[in-house]
């Protein structure tokens, strides 16, 4: 038999990035939230040392939902792992924002949002 150590650690995290505004003089901020399953220490090492395709698949497999992405008409886009994959492949700012959110969630967010055991 194996010990059941509990459920996977999951939490919401903010993915934030900016782009030059149309006026070319300022930046426009974008943000959305991702619901992620925290990475283990081994997965973090794999993410940092692995090939780009392996890292992409690891990220996509750990993002379980999102809130905030909108289409060209401003309508909410339901979560779809393929849409996420396209976003992180097509836009380095989106990729970096999702990676930062996942790393934060894996290191800080789950601790912050987890319940402490009775003393």
- pLDDT tens per residue across span 65-86: 999 999 999 999 999 999 999 9
- Does residue 76 form part of some domain? yes
pTM score, two decimals? Answer: 0.80
By the 10 Å C-beta count (0-12 exposed, 13-18 middle, 19+ buried), 102 is classed as: buried
> Does a structural domain hold residue 26?
no
Q: Is there a domain that residue 11 lies in?
A: no
- Mean pLDDT (the chain) is 86
Domain limits for position 37: 31-113
20 lies in some domain: no
Domain total of the chain:
1
Residue 66 has φ and ψ, to the nearest 5°, of: -150, 165
What b/e readout covers 37-49, taking b as 16+ CB neighbours within 10 angstroms?
bbbeeebbeebee
Distance separating alpha carbons of residues 59 and 48, to the nearest angstrom:
11
Structure-model confidence comparison of residues 51 and 69, the more confident one: 69
pLDDT band (50, 70, 90) for residue 116: very low
Region of poorest pLDDT, from 33-42, 75-84, 108-117: 108-117
């Amino acid at each position: 038999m194996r010990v059941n150590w509990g459920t996977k650690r999951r939490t919401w995290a903010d993915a934030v990035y900016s782009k030059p505004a149309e006026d070319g003089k300022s930046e426009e901020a974008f943000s959305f939230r991702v619901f992620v399953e925290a990475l283990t220490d081994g997965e973090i090492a794999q993410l940092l040392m692995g090939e780009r395709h392996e890292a992409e698949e690891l990220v996509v497999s750990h993002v379980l939902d999102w809130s905030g992405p909108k289409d060209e008409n401003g309508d909410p886009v339901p979560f779809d792992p393929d849409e996420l994959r396209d976003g992180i492949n097509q836009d380095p700012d989106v990729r970096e924002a999702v990676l930062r959110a996942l790393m934060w969630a894996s290191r800080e967010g789950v601790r912050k949002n987890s319940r402490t055991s009775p003393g």
